Amino acid sequence: MSTSIVVRTLSDRVFEVVREQILQGRLRNGEPIRQDALATELGISKIPLREALARLEQEGLLINHPNRGYYVQPMSREQVDEIYALRLSIEPQAAAYASQVATDDDRAHATSAFTALDTAAHSNLTAVAVRNREFHIALVEPGRKVLTTQLVERLAVLAERYVIAHLAPAGRDARAHVEHRALFDAWLERDKRQVEKLLKEHIQGTLKDLRAQLKNGA
């Protein structure tokens, strides 16, 4: 029993390391995952590595080609269109509703998430992407709609590489901060219509930028 626990813990750690490498671009779009080399680099056996790779496939970061193995899922305009269309159909209304029913604890948690995002803006983009995901989820969770929250979280995870790409050009982080600040203020004020409006505009603006970047080969 103890051995099983150790294996699961190691698999979790490997999952986090490989996921970080993908988000940082160290494992590039479309690149094959060389399991022997990666296992050697990480100093592990193939068992926890395979478990981690299977989870990363479920996360949408890897694709498994029969008889060829795992490859990094390429970023594409088609995928970003699908992710952001789904976000637009779910997230603005969910956040608007959550703003109406959020408890004091929910509001404190959302404030902590916003503060963490604001602080991360001065560090690396991978950290910003994670904090961005946590902030967006914190605006939806108080609605206590489990499936909705799970869908928002899933889409936020899939969007992380695109968030990093979006924030790379100079000035984008400052614009994102202004948009997040206005959105969060409206959420705290329980202004349902404004929350929905601002979140739609925020998601649509990001999508517009990403379409242009991906068209130009970013």
Domains in the chain, start-ordered, CATH in brackets? 2-72 (1.10.10.10), 77-215 (1.20.120.530)
Greater model confidence, 23 or 180: 180
- Specify the DSSP class assigned to residue 32: B
Among 7-11, 21-25, 33-37, 122-126, name the most confident range: 33-37
Roughly how many angstroms between the first and final C-alpha of the chain, as a whole number? Answer: 47
Query: Residues with Cβ < 8 Å from 92, sequence gap 6 or more?
Result: 195, 196, 197, 199, 200, 203
CA distance 174 to 170: 9
Mean pLDDT of all residues in 162-190: 92
In tens, the pLDDT along 30-56 reads 889 999 998 898 888 888 999 999 999
Is residue 42 a contact partner of residue 49, using CB atoms and an 8 Å limit? yes
pLDDT at 2: 43
CB 184 within 8 A of CB 114: yes
72 — phi, psi (to 5°)?
-70, 130
Tell me the per-residue pLDDT of 107-155, one tens digit each, with 9 for 90 and over. Answer: 999 999 999 998 886 667 788 888 999 999 999 999 999 999 999 999 9
